[in-house]
Amino acid sequence: MCRYIPCGPELANSHVIPHGDQWWLVADSGSMPIADPTFSGELDQFAAAMTAANRAVAALRSPQHADESDAEPQ
């Protein structure tokens, strides 16, 4: 089952995408659902980790964080 946290239309520029409640392998020649629950679970965890990393990077780039890093140490 695909219980991922959305991180984009595809997972880190790979050939797997979430569709409905499961992951799919996608290629020029066609696509197929991933039936292995262990593999799907790993994809869920990886997608959640990628989302957390993307949010952390976005927070570092936020104007509020920039203001804090510009302040002189006391």
Number of domains in the chain: 1
Task: Give domain status of residue 6, yes or no.
Answer: no
Within a domain: 61: yes
Give the range of the structural domain holding residue 40, as residue numbers without chain letter.
16-65
Q: What global pTM score does this model have?
A: 0.66
C-alpha distance from residue 36 to each of 21, 23, 53 (Å):
13, 10, 26
3-class secondary-structure state, position 59: helix
**pLDDT tens per residue across span 10-49:** 576 788 988 888 999 999 999 999 999 999 999 989 888 8
* 73 in any annotated domain: no
Residue 40 placed within a domain: yes
Would residue 9 count as lying in a domain?
no
* Distances, alpha carbon 28 to alpha carbons 20, 31, 44, in Å: 20, 8, 24
Contact 43, 4 (CB under 8 A): yes
Considering the domain boundaries, does residue 26 fall inside one?
Answer: yes
**Residue 49 belongs to some domain of the structure:** yes
**Is residue 25 a contact partner of residue 34, using CB atoms and an 8 Å limit?**
yes
* pLDDT, position 5: 47
